[in-house]
Amino acid sequence: MSEKIHAIGFYKSLPISDPHSLEDVQLPAPAATGHDLLVKISAISVNPVDIATRKGATDQTDQPRILGFDAVGTVLQVGKAVTLFQPGDKVYYAGSYSRSGSYSELQLVDERIVALAPHKLTDPEAAAMPLTTLTAWEALFEQLGIDPDDNTNNSQKSILIINGAGGVGSVATQLAHWAGLHVYASASRNESKKWVLEHGADEVVDHHHDLVDEVRGLGKQNVDYILELNNLTGHWDEMVELIAPNGKMCSITSTQKPVDLTVLKRKRVTFAWEWMFTKSFYQTDDILSQHEILAKAAALFDAGILQTTLQQTLHGITAATLRKAHAQIEAGHTIGKIVITKN
Ligand SMILES: NC(=O)c1ccc[n+]([C@@H]2O[C@H](COP(=O)([O-])OP(=O)(O)OC[C@H]3O[C@@H](n4cnc5c(N)ncnc54)[C@H](OP(=O)(O)O)[C@@H]3O)[C@@H](O)[C@H]2O)c1
């Protein structure tokens, strides 16, 4: 192993058209201790959180911030406390918001948020999946409290997924369908509408029209669950109107202004947040559940029950390629996932 490794980082927030917005850098090679694995990365994916973090950085730093919250790679070294993996294992993971990310030749990651990569997916197909799968799984089966094994009960229930064709929505529609729910998913263009129907949606509604009219136009008065994946403030009034009494709603997005939860009281509606990084950021007692979720998802990919949401593969994990991927995601029309392979 060389003493320096190649990574891609930024020192201050700049428009993505600026060549310094993401730069190729050299960093000291890390070593695995404790629960950490040292992973040699073969493919990564790019998520909106990468763009939000780059754009939201307020200070200039001396050390580059290395983004990247999805990876597939091979374990090179394990820390002394590691029990789940050994050198040579092919793994996939989303990683932690508080650590150096996957825009790098090598990465340290806690074994408790890692699983063996699905055997039947290629590296780019698998790299597309960890962050969005963890988000969708935790939102549906933890925060909304849907029991994935209770197909009989779930088949009586409906869910509206707002932004069904994006990275998270493309997995959420599949998982909700697998759990037995009747899935209304939103998409606005012919290709994104087609995509959601191919990824588990029963019905498609247009989020650029009034979602109340769209859902009721399909003969459905209220839905039992709503999963909001685009803009909570923008869709809040529609959600309040569409949710059924005793229903549950979950959002993964930020708000531009506070939402008024009192309007949910009469219907006795539960509102929950999902943040995929909570468990690793706060080192919660259930951190190992991210290993378990990714392992269960790998089995579903291998069984053909879940399909990868990989839509586009770029080649060469370099600053130039990453600037291109950031620019595409910033445009806000991504379907599925953009992956970058090492070669
Ligand atoms: N809390 C967490 O843990 C967590 C995890 C992952 C992501 N996120 C956040 O969740 C959001 C979604 O992430 P993602 O990766 O799924 O996004 P994405 O892939 O970038 O989403 C792109 C999609 O957004 C749709 N869209 C555009 N305008 C919309 C609108 N007004 N209403 C509904 N959908 C609209 C587009 O559909 P059309 O082209 O058909 O209009 C497009 O397919 C981002 O804000 C991200 O930062 C949070």
Q: What's the pLDDT tens digit per position in 292-302?
A: 999 999 999 99
Which CATH architecture does the domain made up of 133-273 adopt? Answer: 3-Layer(aba) Sandwich (3.40)
Distances (CA, A) of 13 to 67, 74, 114, 148, 320: 13, 31, 30, 41, 16
165 CA from centroid of ligand 1 (Å): 8
Query: Where do the domains of the chain lie?
Result: 4-129+281-341, 133-273
Length of the chain: 343
Q: What is the mean pLDDT of residues 229-256?
A: 96
| Among the listed residues 163, 144, 124, the one whose alpha carbon sits nearest the alpha carbon of residue 42 | 124
Q: What's the pLDDT tens digit per position in 143-178?
A: 999 999 999 999 999 999 999 999 999 999 999 999
Probe ligand 1: pick from 55, 140, 230, 279, max atoms within 8 Å of CB? 230
Q: Which atom of ligand 1 is nearest to the CA of 170?
A: 16
In this predicted structure, what is the pLDDT of residue 132? Answer: 98
In this predicted structure, what is the pLDDT of residue 122? Answer: 98
Number of other CB atoms surrounding residue 299 within 10 Å = 13
Q: What's the pLDDT tens digit per position in 38-61?
A: 999 999 999 999 999 999 998 888
Q: Phi and psi (nearest 5°) for 72? A: -125, 140
165 lines ligand 1 (CB under 6 A): yes
240 lines ligand 1 (CB under 6 A): no
334 lines ligand 1 (CB under 6 A): yes
- Please check the confidence at residue 2 and state whether its pLDDT lies above 90: no
275 CA from centroid of ligand 1 (Å): 14
Q: What is the mean pLDDT of residues 104-110?
A: 98
Per CATH, the homologous superfamily of domain 4-129+281-341 is: Medium-chain alcohol dehydrogenases, catalytic domain (3.90.180.10)
